[in-house]
Amino acid sequence: MKRQSIENLEFDVLLDEFKKILKDGGLKYTQQREALLRTLYNSNCHYTPENLYLKIKENYPELNVGIATVYRTLNLLEDSGMATSISFGAQGKKFELAIKPHHDHLICKNCGKIVEFHDPTIEKKQLSIAKENGFILTGHLMQLYGVCSDCRKKGAN
């Protein structure tokens, strides 16, 4: 069910694509689902479903949004390629829309802080490794784990 690349799309175009995905999946477009999409679109955060639910409730108090709708919609967005997630094991996943140019992540294993980065040297090396092994690279997800400077200052390791 993957679709065309959605990097750098304006919200109206993204919303139209979202409506098509809902229709193809036999689901209805609702204001609650649009509020979820708009919240992700207007943020640089990586949200857990629970944090996203709370943010939607805060930003759209007039809407009756259920946590189950948040989970279902995030799964639909991820399955369609419109969102990506980072798994934190027992702590669950954090989601972001896949509209930004490709980037990788540094993740603090203590506080969960996520830093996005892009390194052309790493990108070239990955292509080279794929070619050396007879692969045509179609995508990748790089997550580097460690301890951020704030946690190190607090004595965490």
Give how many domains the chain has, as a whole number: 2
Residue 4 lies in a domain: no
**Radius of gyration in angstroms for the set of CA atoms belonging to the chain, rounded to a whole number:** 17
pLDDT tens for 98-142 read: 887 788 889 998 888 889 898 999 989 999 999 999 999 887 888
Would the annotation count 123 as a binding residue?
yes
CATH number at residue 131: 3.30.1490.190
Would the annotation count 79 as a binding residue?
no
> Are 90 and 124 in the same domain?
no
End-to-end CA distance of the chain: 41
CATH number at residue 77: 1.10.10.10
User: Which of 102, 88, 106 is closest to 140 using CA atoms?
Assistant: 102
Residue 5 lies in a domain: no
> Are 17 and 36 in the same domain?
yes
Would the annotation count 151 as a binding residue?
yes
Would the annotation count 140 as a binding residue?
yes
Q: Domain range holding 124?
A: 104-153
With a cut of 70, list the residues of the chain below it in pLDDT: 1-9, 156-157
Task: Taking each helix axis as running N to C, give the angle between helix 11-24 and helix 67-80, from 0 to 180 degrees, rounded to the nearest 10.
Answer: 100
Would the annotation count 108 as a binding residue?
yes
**pTM listed for this prediction:** 0.74
